[in-house]
Amino acid sequence: MQPVHLIVLTHGLYGSSINLAAVKEELINLSSPLPLPSSPSTSRSAGPALETVVYLPTGIKGPKTWDGIDVCAHRIVEEIDREIERLEDDGKDVVGFSVMGYSLGGLISRYIIGILHARQPSFFSRHKPISFSTAATPHLGVLKYGTLTNTVVHTVGRQLFSRTGRQIYCLDKEPEWGGRGLLEMMADPDHVFVQALRLFPKVMIIANGCQDNTVPYPTASISYSDPFQDITTIHVETDEDHIVQSYRKVEYPDPEDLPVDHSNDLDEDGEDVQIQIKVIKNPISRVTNEWKGRRRQPLPPPFMIFPWPFNYMLFLIFPLLLPFILVYVTTVIAIANFHSRKRIRTHRDTIENKPLLVSSSISLVDTIENTTRELQNTISTTVRESNSLDGTSTPPLSDPIEHSKIAPLLLSSNQKLMIKNLNDSIPNAERVISWFPWAYNSHAMLICRDTKRFPWQEDGRGIVKKWTKFVYDAGFIGLNEEDQEGGLVEIHGRLEME
């Protein structure tokens, strides 16, 4: 049978598979040396034995993501089973399995692998786990900062998004989970979710360092602090793909230690007075070099940007439209929540709610670890050693810089425990920090979500390429014995054109 590396790519809250078109495109480019049509298709090139299949789930589009992380995961697992059955009917064997999750899709993906591993026998006893990766995923849920604005947003936000909203705000306490929240349970090392995560020899965590107004750095990177919260107090070194190589806190010198720039003698009331002038050169000025040739995006949100003169007309009539907008949004949310509750009840009636507390067998874990040890040695994580400007630069993902006192990060005890457990579970994870200080909201830019409407999101192309290359290389090296270029690629899953 034709060996296949199956990659499941899951979108985020209120999204669709079309949001991940750029990620799909880069996987196609890596998997086949031949140009491919834009429609779902299969391209074959001579030689390679491995086929890469990218599956984009279609069953959780839009408001269906409000039904709960667990409910969405069950739906996608059903799609995965159907896809594997389809591949087997075509004479193909899924020998490798990778998961990629964007935003909420990362949490759904963590639940997916838990469901698969809880099976008896485990899904991974037959389909080798290759890589697990997330981009801008709120692993700790929604964070709370000690500011009035954040408090208001946090208070309002927890009422939205139905069951999923309660889960990401850590307000859910389910009896089947022992009275704990979903995210807390998914980070418990004694549960199947963490056990499943440990089976993947290659793990990547991607986080925006700044300007992500949706999923801030600490929750995306599973970190205790936010060293990038005030970008005016740090100096960041990035590469051409806007990936952080190192950063350091900017230290202002003591004025007493500064040399005299120049002095003036003044005659005041018949007395000679000498005035010494010392100049502190602002080291922050170098930050502007990172923005060379770029402009910060306009203050209005991207969806409010219209050509002249409609842009000015919008601001004039916006106060009149605001009451109607609020009524419309409230109505839409209420209707969506109503339908979400109906879908949740249907889901509970049709799917047996099995508690995922089944511990993995030691023999299975040993088997997976033995088969992947060679893969880990072959494609070990490359550690970049960035040259420091003054010998005090900080490598990415170590957080010695205290977070801002202006907006302190308020982590709960459960969130701190999640950080410890998750980091202990994936100690060799490759972490990537993107840096887009000029973005209005870098959350969408990270995956080039809609470059046709918002061309500036193309700045995230380097991150997308790094992410997809990581996943493709893990499968290619781990499943291909021969060193050869190219491969077979199939993109399956309908892309909804909006």
pLDDT band at 41 (very low <50, low <70, confident <90, very high): very low
Q: What percent of the chain has pLDDT over 90?
A: 46
Taking all residues of the chain, what is their mean pLDDT, rounded to a whole number? 77
Banded pLDDT at 340 (limits 50, 70, 90): confident
Q: What is the pLDDT of residues 449-491, one digit of tens each?
A: 999 988 989 999 999 999 999 999 999 887 765 444 445 555 5
Residue 250's pLDDT band, with cuts at 50, 70 and 90, is confident
What was the pLDDT predicted at 349?
Answer: 58
- Side by side, which strands form the sheet with 430-434? 42-43, 488-492, 51-55, 2-10, 92-102, 128-135, 202-208, 430-434
Report how far residue 192's alpha carbon sits from residue 185's, in angstroms, rounded to the nearest whole number.
10
pLDDT average, residue stretch 383-410: 51
Tell me: pLDDT of 348 over 50: yes
Residue 384, pLDDT above cutoff 50:
no
Q: What is the pLDDT of residue 233?
A: 84
pLDDT at res. 179: 81
Structure confidence at residue 159 (pLDDT): 74
Measured distance CA(344)–CA(137) in Å, rounded: 23
Residue 366 is predicted with a pLDDT of 45
The mean pLDDT of 83-101, rounded to a whole number, is: 96
Residue 74 structure tokens: 């069950």
Q: Is the pLDDT of residue 167 over 70?
A: yes
- Name the amino acid, one letter, at 281: K
What's the rounded mean pLDDT across residues 107-123?
96
From the list 364, 297, 416, the residue with the least C-alpha distance to 116 is 364
pLDDT band of 196, cuts 50, 70, 90: very high
Long-range pairs for 145-151: beta carbons < 8 A, 24 or more residues apart: 145/407, 145/408, 145/409, 145/410, 146/407, 146/408, 146/409, 146/410, 147/406, 147/407, 150/407
The alpha carbons of the chain give a radius of gyration, in whole angstroms, of 25
pLDDT tier at 372, thresholds 50, 70, 90 = very low
Distance separating alpha carbons of residues 180 and 173, to the nearest angstrom: 5
- What pTM was computed for the model? 0.78
CA distance 208 to 243: 9
Question: Which element (helix H / strand E) includes 430?
Answer: strand 430-434
Amino acid at position 326, single letter:
L
Q: What are phi and psi of 183, to 5 degrees?
A: -65, -40
pLDDT of residue 154 exceeding 90, the answer is no
Sign of the alpha-carbon torsion through 296, 299, 304, 307: negative
Comparing C-alpha atoms, which of 357, 411, 402 is closest to residue 141?
411
